[in-house]
Structure 1
């Protein structure tokens, strides 16, 4: 009964905050055992930094797919709208409809395939669908003709990613199906775009490949416009291309992880990338502290044995929350009470264990920072991603929706809770 009331109170707090902020009461965090802390001031900072990279007449299309890379798409999108973002991109129609139902008014581009079963919803919710092939474009055109409805579309051009889109390699044969799309009479084409395969790489061959992709895109647009074809808005640069190739002139750039302070790949080490700040921290509480004798074995698999009497703390987070089990027994440290403590033993689904022998005055309820900074120490998302040989956004994408998102704005003066 108590837990139900507690959950209800937190949900009510969040619903209230959709309409406005409230002054932070730190005791509202006390019920939470693990949470993502998201700094909306840093989001604003990152948007400003993107604007410094692009020309004044280029705009930002914010990619908020996969729940805004785990940050919470509704709160993030609403915040971005208030900061002047007027176009969003998602992967799937369910993401777009959820945003519409939660107050997002700006244009929303669906980057992936939408089943013909849902074409009617594209029209109903005023969504923009990517045209990924001539055959697919004909299906939408036919649907609009039969149902006398209106669907906005962007033509996806494959200049070398070789995934979705109509292939264009500069030859007359590849331009024919593209021209046919623009002449379908019931399509409302409002944009044209391409996507880069290796824009994050500083390898000379990869740099040349990206430049070739953009040259092909420019060549195609020139041909289309010479034929008096309206291409709509143009966009090509993703997060790494925005950093690495800011001179690729289009109407919009498509930034996702960059706005969240998570540039990736080789380009993440560039000077311009250093101006972007991660807006996310992952925190959890200690649930119990105990002393173990020497030669005590710890956690599933008994992979850690105390070498002497050691003090351990159990932290209320695990791989079920999205903190990877792969990080077990890799000498990864977390921050607790201003000190570093090593994760020991196997990470469990809902718990992990840290060695706190050298830390005094540690007790139940103390906050542990697993990703983020405290007291001069930083456990970076990039560091964890490197340990796992993956991208930083894969780590946050896997943080379970059961982990509450706590949104902070204004020198910790205001917070928002988002319980999914």
Structure 2
């Protein structure tokens, strides 16, 4: 049992992350390898710690969102390849070659800027080219009505770049069962394949290939590119537990979130609770104030949506608005409650389990965001 050193804390089971990696490594095409996406501090689970154990399991490629995240991995002595999935400002280009970091090129303009810098330093910078097959975010458009294959080819010709790979990104690989989403995903695959075939026909060595994100890896495991980019699944969760999957996989949530009771009091019927006076007790109520709030990551939007937490193994509903540092629960059915007692926000007590998905549904968001909102002031303990 881990000892709390804070008013609210998180416990992360690294063995479960190892197991999730093994599950996904077996699930994807045998030709493929897992590229571990550890951006946003690995969804709040600790990027360098998670990357280290995954490197022990054989992962040789990691993906992050920024140069800061990449350098954090290098400073933690991560040896594998690191791909920055987003933009890097020109003043930070030097870190790329100094620390052997691979940069995404999402436009000719950016690629030319990067190449010009590399030539000025008499070096080459390794890149992966991003093509947009239907996400509409970053990347060179390669869609039916905007097919810029010549721009892709021109990036391979930039002398300062070593183009070591090319990739794209699914937008609706999760909702394969909704309307035309599966057809849309299949067409993204067709467009990506068309790009590869045209580059090959031109004699261009396009390098490593990767298309699947986490849901792409679950629902379309038959694709045989070089890597699958897997992120949130490694920590044992999908984005939305209610979304059906084409292929079921058994994953193990690695994170438990706990906090403490700050105050216990019994109030009469007709007592207002919290900011805004928008919760009024309908009976005599044991109100327990909990030492966690939206500054810790408890999404304020989850207020008034019957979200529950566990106290002494019993479910207790959050009442009133979630505050910055605290929230209140109705613990009328729980006996012998005292200041300092442990409250479980995410995790299991006895026969009851609260999943991150319950918080996400109450806040009308996805698990990815709920994890990322758990703030830095909540310490992480590893076991």
- TM more than 0.5: yes
Answer yes or no: is 1:144 the counterpart of 2:118.
yes
- On the 8 A contact 2:307/2:362 being kept in 1, the answer is no
Look up the SS of the partner of 1:372 in the other structure. Answer: strand
| Deviates further, 139-148 or 268-277 | 268-277
Q: How does 1:7-406 map to 2 (within 5 A)?
A: 26=2, 29-169=3-143, 174-201=148-175, 202-264=177-239, 268-270=243-245, 272-406=247-381
Question: Quick one: distance in 2 between partners of 1:268 and 1:106?
Answer: 33
Look up the SS of the partner of 2:174 in the other structure. Answer: coil
- On the 8 A contact 1:244/1:267 being kept in 2, the answer is no
Question: Quick one: distance in 2 between partners of 1:173 and 1:257?
Answer: 31
When normalised by structure 2's length, the TM-score is: 0.95
- On the 8 A contact 1:287/1:313 being kept in 2, the answer is yes
Look up the SS of the partner of 1:343 in the other structure. Answer: strand
Structure 1 residues 237, 267: closer, same or farther in 2, change over 3 A? farther
Question: Quick one: distance in 2 between partners of 1:268 and 1:333?
Answer: 21
Question: Quick one: distance in 2 between partners of 1:308 and 1:208?
Answer: 53
- On the 8 A contact 1:240/1:267 being kept in 2, the answer is no
- On the 8 A contact 1:122/1:151 being kept in 2, the answer is yes
Higher helix share: 1
Shift of 1:167: 1.4
Residue in structure 2 matched with residue 415 of structure 1 by the alignment: none
| Deviates further, 268-277 or 123-132 | 268-277
| Deviates further, 345-354 or 235-244 | 345-354
Question: Quick one: distance in 2 between partners of 1:43 and 1:260?
Answer: 5
Structure 1: 5+ residue stretches without partners: 1-23, 409-420
Question: Quick one: distance in 2 between partners of 1:329 and 1:171?
Answer: 45
- On the 8 A contact 1:284/1:317 being kept in 2, the answer is yes
